[in-house]
Amino acid sequence: MSVDYTDDSIRSLDWKEHIRMRPGMYIGKLGDGSSHDDGIYVLIKEVIDNSIDEYVMGHGKIIEVSVNEKQVTIRDYGRGMPLGKVNECVSKINTGAKYDSKVFKKAVGLNGVGSKAVNALSSYFKAQSFREGKTKLVEYERGVSTTDAPLADSNEKEGTLVSFIPDSDIFGNYHFLFEYIEEMLWNYVFLNNGLTIVFNGQKFFAKNGLLDLLERNINGNGPVLYPIIHIKEGDFECAFSHSSRSYSEEYFSFVNGQHTTSGGTHQNAFREAIVKTIREFFNKDFETSDIRSSIIAAISIKIQEPVFESQTKTKLGSQHIEPNGQSVRNYVNDIVKRNLDNYLHINSETAEAIHRKILQSEKERKDMAGIKKLARESIKKASLHNKKLRDCRVHFNTNKEERLNTTLFITEGDSASGSITKSRDVRTQAVFSLKGKPLNSYGLSKKIVYQNEEFNLLQAALNIDESLENLRYNNVVVATDADVDGMHIRLLLLTFFLQFYPDLVKAGHLYILQTPLFRVRNKKETIYCYNEEERVQAIRKLKSNPEITRFKGLGEISPGEFKYFIGSNMRLDPVILRRESSVAETLSFYMGKNTPDRQRFIIDNLRIEEDLAVEKVA
C-alpha cells in the first residue's frame, strides 16, 4: 500500500512535544521507580545538578530536597537564575549559562536541556528565583505555561526553588524509593567537600571525599586487605583497596560530580595506571586480571566541557582535557603512578599485602583454568540457546536505549517458563528456565559455578564471568511461585548472586517479580490483586458476588493474562543491599547453620504480622 509523501507529511515538533515523544533521548529509560536508573530519579538529578554547579562556583553551601508522595521540591541558596530569564531557562531548549565556560567552567550539565526535560515530563512544574530582593515565579503543566508572575518583592534568601510532579502519563504508576535518592545525595556530598544536603529533614555531609565514599560502600565486600589508599591531586581524586571476599572489580566513578556508572576514559586510565605502577614497583609482569581482581575503587575527575556518550552522561567519552589538550589517559596515569609508587615505598606492609593478593589471584586463576574449559564445553553440549535460554533480539543491534530495558526472567518449571515465553516482548525480554531447585551455594567456592550445570549455564547466559561490564541484561528478574517452594527457590538464587556476584546486586540489576495472587471479575471488569487487602477492595468495587480465582502458581496464569503482568504494568521489587549490612553476615544468618536463631526470627516476625492484621481488622 503506497502512502502519499507530500508537504503535509513534514511536521516540526516544538521543544516539549519532542521531549515527551522521545523521552529516552533525554533521560534514558522510563521505568516506575523500581530501578536506580529510572527516569524519575534522572529528573531529580537534573535539577540538583544545577544547584551543584552553583555550589562549585562558590555560591550556596546548603541544598534542601524534599519528596512528599509524588512531588519533589529542591531549594538551593546560590545566586538564583537571572530574573529576566527564568522562563527561558526552564522552557527554551539550548538556553542556559553553561555555554559560557567562564561562568560554569566544569559544570555537569552542558546541553541546556536538563530543566527543560523535567518541565516537559512533569504534570506540574514550578521554578522560582530569589535574587537582589526580588522574586520571579513561573509554573507549567506538561511544559505548557500556566503562570508567568510579574516580579515581586521578596525577603527570602537568594537562590532557586524548583518543584515538580513527574507525569503519570509518561511514567505510569511510579513510586520513589528513598534508598535510591539517598544514594544519589550521598554521592553529591562525597564529591563536594563542605556541601550540606538536607533530605526530608535528614542531613547529608562528608569530610573526606572519596575516602568516606569507599568506607561507606566497602562493607558488603568484607574487610579490605590493607588500609584504603587515598590520592588527591589537581582535578583528580581516587581511593581504593582490595577486598578479601570479592572476585570482581568494583568502581564508583565520577566526572564533574556526575556518576558515570558505565565508566569511560577516566576509569580506563585509572585501571591501566594501577596495573602499570604495580608491575613496575615489583618489577614483575603480573597478569592484568591478577592485579585488579577484587579491587574496589572510587575515582573522580573534573574536566572543562566533558563529552559524554549519551544525554544521561553515564560514560565519559572525552579523550583530552581542555584547554591544554593533555590526554585524560596521560593525566590520570601520571598522578596515579607518582603518588602510588611513593606510597608503596613508604608503606611496605601495604605493598606486601598487595603482593600476597596478586599471588593468591594467580594461583586461583590457574586452578580454575581447567574447570572453566570443561565448563565451556559443557555449555556447548547443553545447547544453551535452544534449551535453557530463550533470548531476546536487542543483543543483535546497538540501540543503547533499548538495551536499558533488556530483562532476563529466571523461572522454574516448564509451565511457568512457557507462559512467560509466550507472553514476553521478544525484542527486550528473555527467559531462563531452571530445572527444579538450584543448589544451596552458601559457603562453597566459585568452582561450583562451573561444576554445577545450572549455575554454569546461568552465569554464561548473563555473561558475568569476567566482568559486570559485560552483563547482557539490565534487569535480572527472579520469577517464582508465591508459595513455600517458590520462596525457597528465590532464596537459593539470591544466595547464588550474593555469594558469587554481589556487584550485580549492589549495582541494582536484581529484582523479584510480583505476580497477582487473586483474580476478581464479573461480566464487565477484571481486577488482579497482589495481596489480601487488594482482594477485599476489588470485591467491594465489583459488588454482587464476583468470581474469585486464587493463583497457586505461575503456570496457572494463561499467556494472555501474563502479558499484562510483565508489560508496562509489571511490578518489580528491587533487591537492595542495606549499607549497614554485610553480605557475609546476611548469608550466614539466612543460609548458615544457625537454625535456632532463624527459628526465633521467623516466630518473632510472625507475631508482628499477626499484630498488624489485628490492627487492620480493628
pLDDT, tens only, 112-145: 568 889 999 999 999 999 999 999 999 999 999 9
Lowest mean pLDDT: which of 92-96, 323-327, 382-386? 382-386
pLDDT, tens only, 404-419: 789 999 998 777 788 8
CB 551 within 8 A of CB 577: no
In DSSP terms, 75 is beta-bridged to 64, 161
pLDDT, tens only, 554-602: 777 788 888 888 887 788 888 887 665 556 666 665 666 666 665 665 5
Closest CA relative to residue 167, chosen from 121, 115, 117, 119 = 121
| Alpha helix ranges (H) inside 192-327 | 210-217, 265-282, 288-292
What is the secondary structure of 91-119 as a DSSP string? Answer: HSTT-SGGG-TTTSTT-S--SS-HHHHHH
CA distance 466 to 279: 21
Q: Taking residues 448-457, what's their average pLDDT? A: 84
User: At residue 618, does pLDDT exceed 50?
Assistant: no
- How many CA atoms does the CB half-sphere of 502 hold within 13 Å? 27
CA distance 188 to 213: 10
Q: Which residues contact 21 (CB under 8 A, 6 or more apart)?
A: 13
Looking at residue 98, its pLDDT comes to 53
Identify the CATH number of the domain defined by range 210-366: 3.30.230.10
Q: Taking residues 4-22, what's their average pLDDT? A: 68
User: At residue 248, does pLDDT exceed 80?
Assistant: no
| Alpha helix ranges (H) inside 283-347 | 288-292, 328-346
Q: Which residue has the higher pLDDT, 301 or 9?
A: 301
Looking at residue 611, its pLDDT comes to 44
Q: Residue 162's pLDDT band (boundaries 50, 70, 90)?
A: very high
Q: Which residue has the higher pLDDT, 35 or 126?
A: 126
CB 40 within 8 A of CB 121: no
Q: Residue 152's pLDDT band (boundaries 50, 70, 90)?
A: very high
CA distance 557 to 418: 10
Closest CA relative to residue 107, chosen from 267, 308, 306, 315 = 306
Lowest mean pLDDT: which of 175-179, 237-241, 248-252? 248-252
Looking at residue 79, its pLDDT comes to 92
CA distance 483 to 616: 24
Would you identify the CATH topology of the domain 16-204? Answer: Heat Shock Protein 90 (3.30.565)
CA distance 219 to 526: 47
What count of other Cβ atoms lies within 10 Å of the Cβ of residue 102? 6
User: At residue 615, does pLDDT exceed 50?
Assistant: no
CA distance 541 to 520: 10
Q: Which residues contact 6 (CB under 8 A, 6 or more apart)?
A: none
CA distance 257 to 299: 10
What is the rounded average pLDDT for all residues in the chain? 82
- Domain chopping of the chain, boundaries: 16-204, 210-366, 382-515+553-581, 518-550, 585-618
User: At residue 106, does pLDDT exceed 90?
Assistant: no
Q: Which residue, chain included where needed, has cell 565508566? A: 263
Looking at residue 114, its pLDDT comes to 81
CB 408 within 8 A of CB 388: no
Angle between helices 484-500 and 453-462 (to 10 degrees): 70
What is the secondary structure of 473-509 as a DSSP string? Answer: -SEEEEE--SSHHHHHHHHHHHHHHHHH-HHHHHTT-
User: At residue 386, does pLDDT exceed 90?
Assistant: no
Looking at residue 612, its pLDDT comes to 39
Query: What is the strand order of the sheet 547-550 is part of?
Result: 526-529, 518-521, 547-550
Distance between the two ends of the chain, CA-based, in angstroms? 65
Would you identify the CATH topology of the domain 382-515+553-581? Answer: Rossmann fold (3.40.50)
Q: Which residues contact 195 (CB under 8 A, 6 or more apart)?
A: 52, 55, 61, 62, 63, 188, 189, 205
| pTM, to two decimals | 0.77
Looking at residue 617, its pLDDT comes to 37
CB 473 within 8 A of CB 501: no
Q: Which residue has the higher pLDDT, 257 or 176?
A: 176
Percent of the chain topping pLDDT 70: 83
Judged by DSSP in three states, 20 sits in helix
CA dist 406 → 125, 400, 412, 428, 504 (Å) = 31, 10, 20, 5, 15
* Residue 344 in grid coordinates: 608503596
The verdict on whether omega for the bond into residue 323 sits within 30 degrees of 0, i.e. cis, is yes
pLDDT, tens only, 209-222: 999 999 888 765 56
* Residue 406 in grid coordinates: 533488556
pLDDT, tens only, 345-384: 999 999 999 999 999 989 888 887 777 776 676 666 555 5
Fold match flag (16-204 vs 382-515+553-581)? no
What torsion do the CA atoms of 333, 336, 341, 343 make, to the nearest 10 degrees? 180
